[in-house]
Amino acid sequence: MTKPEVIGSSKSTYTRVVRMVCEEKGIEYTLTETAIFAPELFTVHPLGKMPALRHGDVCLFESKAIATYLDRVFVGPEIFPSAPLPASLTEQWVSFTNTAVDRTFIRTYLYEYIAARRDKRKPDRNVIDSVLPDLHRQITILDTAVKATGFLVADRFTFADINLMPILHRLAQAPEGNDALARAVHLSKYYEQHAQRNSFQRTSPPEGPPSRTK
């Protein structure tokens, strides 16, 4: 079968999610390294975001849609459970992560550090301090969620975990995020344990955020 081509950056959390899916399922793929908003991304993604996927005649964007496609087309461990409750719980945690956690941990909190470094200035304490209550609340929610089994859904590693792990990795790269994760007993254990997985190790990103063409 043709190898899927993942278009994105090894520094991008959502590109890493798709790469982890390939690794978990043992799918041979190629990664085409691009900057955000690069022309090759616009050939698949109407907004030029990453990741995008090409597989034969199939073109897809949105990491979860790409993951669903890969899970259904390729053999290997099922990363989206099919039984009704685990399937719905996977949806629940993916939605929560993508709409709340990603916005708080990455787009608001971490991006302030990234912007400060890029602009050679100090991080704006107002931005950091005003996001911390949401950050701590969401850490507590995730900490409670993984307490019983060490997974977000039932007692197995699913797409819900794949979708969260790259975000936790980035969170731990800034001081308050690192502290908050370290103090969340169950979530930090969860992170340390799943960080040992081959799919996580083999997709470990180089330092820094993905570059942008504009």
Residues forming the site for ligand GSH (CB under 6 A): 12-14, 36, 49-51, 62-64, 210
Q: What dihedral angle (degrees, nearest 10) is formed by the CA atoms of 97, 98, 104, 105?
A: 70
Q: Which is nearer to ligand GSH, 13 or 90 (CB)?
A: 13
Catalogue the E-assigned strands of 142-199.
none
Cβ neighbour number for residue 48 with a 10 Å cutoff: 21
Q: In angstroms, give the least distance from the CB of 4 to ligand GSH.
A: 15
Q: In angstroms, give the least distance from the CB of 51 to ligand GSH.
A: 6
Report how far residue 88's alpha carbon sits from residue 14's, in angstroms, rounded to the nearest whole number: 21
Q: In angstroms, give the least distance from the CB of 12 to ligand GSH.
A: 4
Q: In angstroms, give the least distance from the CB of 148 to ligand GSH.
A: 27
3-class state of residue 107 by DSSP = helix
Q: In angstroms, give the least distance from the CB of 140 to ligand GSH.
A: 24
Q: Which is nearer to ligand GSH, 97 or 188 (CB)?
A: 97
Query: Which single residue brings its beta carbon nearest to ligand GSH?
Result: 49
Q: Which is nearer to ligand GSH, 163 or 199 (CB)?
A: 163
Could you tell me if 193 and 155 are in contact, meaning their C-beta atoms sit under 8 angstroms apart?
Answer: no
26 conformational bin, left if phi > 0, alpha if psi -120 to 50, beta if neither = left
Q: How many CA atoms lie within 13 Å of 65's alpha carbon, on the beta-carbon side?
A: 11
Q: Which is nearer to ligand GSH, 143 or 209 (CB)?
A: 209
Q: Which is nearer to ligand GSH, 62 or 78 (CB)?
A: 62
